[in-house]
């Protein structure tokens, strides 16, 4: 079983919709989670990071962690065409090498 599972999509929504992107993980060691956004042919851009259960909000983006279910989510409110990208979830097990394990990414298209 892979450490981080992510539905690859693709996901297509109309402009203004609420988007839900999800990942599950298998290792229960100390967890630090990140969401990255990657536009086509560009490097990933860090969107949000969190290490605690519950919600963390930043503008239109909310990261949610449910450690009892080993489930992490990213919600995008009032989605815009400029949100069209691949979204990658990642976790760090907290070891001294700070290695990240990535999901495969979900391709999102927001249609005007």
Partner 1 sequence: DGGITQSPKYLFRKEGQNVTLSCEQNLNHDAMYWYRQDPGQGLRLIYYSQIVNDFQKGDIAEGYSVSREKKESFPLTVTSAQKNPTAFYLCASRHGGRNEQFFGPGTRLTVL
Q: Which stretch binds partner 1 (CB under 8 A): 14-22, 62-70, 72-80, 99-107?
A: 99-107
- SS3 of residue 108 by DSSP: strand
Residue 68 CB, nearest approach to partner 1 (Å): 22
Per the rule left: phi > 0, alpha: psi between -120 and 50, beta: everything else, 108 is: beta
Q: Does 40 bind partner 1 (CB under 8 A)?
A: no
Q: Which stretch binds partner 1 (CB under 8 A): 14-22, 57-65, 67-75, 90-98?
A: 90-98
Question: Which residues contact partner 1 (rule: CB under 8 A)?
Answer: 6, 8, 32, 34, 36, 41-46, 49, 51, 88, 92, 97-100, 102-105
């Amino acid at each position: 079983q892979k450490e981080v599972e992510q539905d690859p999509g693709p996901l297509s929504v109309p402009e203004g919709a609420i988007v839900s992107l999800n990942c599950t993980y298998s290792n229960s060691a100390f967890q630090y989670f990140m969401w990255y956004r990657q536009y086509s042919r560009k490097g990933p851009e860090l969107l949000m990071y969190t290490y605690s259960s519950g919600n963390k909000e930043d503008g239109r983006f909310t990261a949610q962690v449910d450690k009892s279910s080993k489930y992490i989510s990213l919600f995008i409110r009032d989605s815009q065409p400029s949100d069209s990208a691949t979204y990658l979830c990642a976790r760090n097990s907290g070891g001294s090498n700070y290695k990240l394990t990535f999901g495969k990414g979900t391709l999102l298209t927001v249609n005007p």
